[in-house]
Amino acid sequence: MKSVLIGVGQAGGKLSRELVEFDERMGFGAVRGAVAVNTAQADLSSLPFETVLVGQDRVKGQGVGGDNELGAEVMQSDIREVLSALDGRIGAETESIFVVAGLGGGTGSGGAPVVAKELKRIYDVPVYGLGILPGRDEGSMYQVNAGRSLKTFAREADSLLLVDNDAFRSAGESVTEGFDSINREIAKRVGLLLAAGESVEGVAESVVDSSEIINTLRNGSIAALGYAAADAAPEAEENINAVMSTTRRALLTGSSLPDATDADAALVVVAGEQDAVPRKGVERARRWVEEETGSLQVRGGDFPLSSDRIAVLILLGGIERSERLDDFMQRAKEAQEQEATAEAKPDNPGDVWANDDLDNLL
């Protein structure tokens, strides 16, 4: 799926760079350009693509210091500059636009929903968010910012693909130490998904295409992406069990949003050497994902790739009712209220989602 990236804020820029580099290294050609936008000059200087500094009149290139309302305001004021940097990069071949940001900070948190909203007014292609949730041990400002941003970004984008910063952490590693490895994990998942929609090598019997990604994401406003890989035997028949166990790991331990398995739709992509991917295994994996997610809209397909491994990628669409998200929104709400004691959870998961306690940003 040919996509253009807009990285907003520090995390957005760094993750976009990781995505561009992964796509180049793998020779996929699915990432068709990237632009980074920030209020902090210093965070833009190391990025190898076009950058736009916004809010110069207000913050003089120094950043918004975690104030996401200011982040939203300056983005709105300077939106023309952002849109003109994108002009010419988004063309007839572009199939989707990704607005990439960390939701806990200021510029990305406030600015990304504004960018998504404006892009949707102009372009017909889907505008997706790729949003990073702060880890549990990040301070309350990050949780509140992310809660408000999440609510607004999910409303403005066609779908918001979420990554929890706690998802890929190794034991003993702080969130900050782990950023680079987290970014690599995210880039691998998203990069493979975009490339799967391109199907670059050979012609498989049931290759995935962009419309399947789009249709999966059409269901609901929040999405997640799971991944796992294992060594493969040369013959497809020998890999049925490997596909099944890799599928389980991709969903249960390899997701960008752990424990969010209740979904409205899903796409299961099995990547590997064409002769090594068992059709029966793909179908079995698809059915298992149907049971596990409770969705009857689970698509399955393969992604021919020269590798001695088999990888399984699971895109979940419409996961907003999951307990994991309720937990996060609850965390954000509690942080906002500055309460030490946890409040009772709503009886019906999903209610928190519709709460009025967290203000929309826009």
What does the binding site for ligand GDP look like in residue numbers (CB under 6 A)?
A: 9-11, 14-15, 102, 104-109, 132, 134, 138, 142, 165, 175, 179, 182-183
Cα–Cα distance measured from residue 186 to residue 154, given in angstroms and rounded to the nearest whole number: 19
Exposure class string for 239-272: b at 16+ Cβ within 10 A, else e: bbebbbebbbbbbeebbbbbebbbbbbbbbbbbb
In the complex, minimum distance from the CB of residue 133 to ligand GDP, in angstroms, rounded to a whole number: 7
Cα–Cα distance measured from residue 100 to residue 116, given in angstroms and rounded to the nearest whole number: 10
- The tokens describing 111, both together, are 């600015």
> Of 267, 276, 323, which Cα lies nearest the Cα of 295?
267
What's the count of helices (H) and strands (E) in the chain, helices before strands? 12, 10
The smaller minimum CB distance to ligand GDP, of residues 8 and 125, is found at 8
In the complex, minimum distance from the CB of residue 256 to ligand GDP, in angstroms, rounded to a whole number: 10
In the complex, minimum distance from the CB of residue 105 to ligand GDP, in angstroms, rounded to a whole number: 2
Cα–Cα distance measured from residue 341 to residue 226, given in angstroms and rounded to the nearest whole number: 32
The smaller minimum CB distance to ligand GDP, of residues 299 and 331, is found at 331
The smaller minimum CB distance to ligand GDP, of residues 185 and 302, is found at 185
The smaller minimum CB distance to ligand GDP, of residues 51 and 183, is found at 183
Cα–Cα distance measured from residue 30 to residue 177, given in angstroms and rounded to the nearest whole number: 29
In the complex, minimum distance from the CB of residue 180 to ligand GDP, in angstroms, rounded to a whole number: 7
Helix (H, G, I), strand (E, B) or coil at 287: helix
In the complex, minimum distance from the CB of residue 13 to ligand GDP, in angstroms, rounded to a whole number: 8
Cα–Cα distance measured from residue 161 to residue 245, given in angstroms and rounded to the nearest whole number: 24
In the complex, minimum distance from the CB of residue 340 to ligand GDP, in angstroms, rounded to a whole number: 22
The smaller minimum CB distance to ligand GDP, of residues 303 and 328, is found at 328
Determine contact, residues 285/245, Cβ cutoff 8 Å. no
The smaller minimum CB distance to ligand GDP, of residues 78 and 292, is found at 78
In the complex, minimum distance from the CB of residue 143 to ligand GDP, in angstroms, rounded to a whole number: 9
Tell me 338's DSSP state: T
The smaller minimum CB distance to ligand GDP, of residues 107 and 159, is found at 107
